[in-house]
Amino acid sequence: MFFLTPILVAILCILVVWIFKNANRSMDKKKGEATARAEARPWADEDLKDSTDLHQAEEDVDEWHESEENVEHIPFSHTRYSEKEMAKRSQEFYELLNNRRSVRFISNEQVPVEVIDNVIRTAGTAPSGAHTEPWTFVVVKDPDMKHKIRKIIEEEEEINYMKRMGHRWVSDLKKLRTNWIKEYLDTAPVLILIFKQVHGFAANGKKKVHYYNEISVSIACGILLAALQVNNGIIIQSQTAGHCHLVEGPGRSSKACSKLSSQSCLERRSGDRHYHSSQLWPSTEGAPGPPRT
């Protein structure tokens, strides 16, 4: 037994070393799996990314601008209402917006330029990620430009109806009597195109990150709809932008940094008839111009 003790000790030492090495391997493997899961794990909501991280990851960090500018803060003040007045105002606002309809009665009757400017300014009050305001509203009045837009939209919409949307979606639209023909885009005197700016540019020419750009622009579109409805006699008809890759934004907002997010059509009412006036935006002369909000 005396001669076996060193042998037993050696065996025990070897066993301990073996267990220790296996434990280390197991821990390293778990760490690797955890890292892989973390890298592969998407955001809780992929839609929230808005390509913000993607652009930074794919491009040279030297191309991006680190913001150091000071932003002026404006003191906040607001009017307080009694509970009775709050209830009254909220009910009136609901009733006003509850009259909103998507209509397709078309007229070439003009919409006042001042109204267009004001509703766009209202849309520009929307909140945005890091206050980047990543939107451009483009007003189009030129007949040739409107017709080009119509052709782009109808070509893509026909593909949507025939291939992309599928039988169920097309079937659900039958009761609404809609199709890919958008003749009101020619008839309406004005169109408003809403572009999301995927990124901006700093004064030094470097790119500025526009956080949550799609969500921010979507909120601005909602406020635009409300502003148009609040204007007595104006109703909105919106058009989704599945063909956004075919329309370039104005100025530096080219395909690289600006994408068509939505399209809106204004409608005016006259008597019992609904008259349609369409909108999209740069300058009211038709040529793209700088954002006015």
pLDDT band at 269 (very low <50, low <70, confident <90, very high): very low
- Under a CB-based contact definition with an 8 Å cutoff, are residues 264 and 174 in contact? no
Domain range for 275? 105-141+187-279
Backbone angles phi, psi at 232, to 5 degrees: -60, 125
Total count of domains within the chain: 1
Q: What is the pLDDT of residue 216?
A: 93
Lowest mean pLDDT among 14-23, 68-77, 219-228, 234-243: 234-243
Give the mean model confidence (pLDDT) for residues 76-93.
94
Q: What is the CATH number of the domain that holds 270?
A: 3.40.109.10
Looking up tokens 């700016």 gives: 197
Longest Cα separation, the chain: 114
Lowest mean pLDDT among 27-41, 45-59, 179-193: 45-59
225 located within any domain = yes
pLDDT band at 85 (very low <50, low <70, confident <90, very high): very high
158 located within any domain = no
Q: Does the pLDDT at position 283 exceed 60? A: no
CA of residue 87 relative to chain centroid, distance: 32
- Give 201's contacts (C-beta < 8 A, 6+ positions apart): 65, 207, 208, 252, 257
Percentage of residues in the chain having pLDDT higher than 90: 17
31 located within any domain = no
217 located within any domain = yes
Looking up tokens 């309406």 gives: 188
Looking up tokens 């009733």 gives: 95
Q: What is the pLDDT of residue 131?
A: 87
Q: What rounded mean pLDDT belongs to the chain? A: 73
247 versus 8: which is more confidently predicted?
Answer: 8
Q: Does the pLDDT at position 278 exceed 60? A: no
Q: What is the pLDDT of residue 84?
A: 97
How do residues 129-147 score in pLDDT, each as one tens digit?
988 899 999 989 899 999 9
75 located within any domain = no
269 located within any domain = yes
Q: Does the pLDDT at position 65 exceed 50? A: yes
Model confidence pTM above 0.85: no
52 located within any domain = no
- Under a CB-based contact definition with an 8 Å cutoff, are residues 53 and 129 in contact? no
161 located within any domain = no
pLDDT band at 118 (very low <50, low <70, confident <90, very high): very high
Strand partners, 240: 262
How do residues 208-265 score in pLDDT, each as one tens digit?
888 888 999 999 999 998 998 887 566 556 666 555 555 555 554 433 455 565 555 5
272's tokens: 């019992």
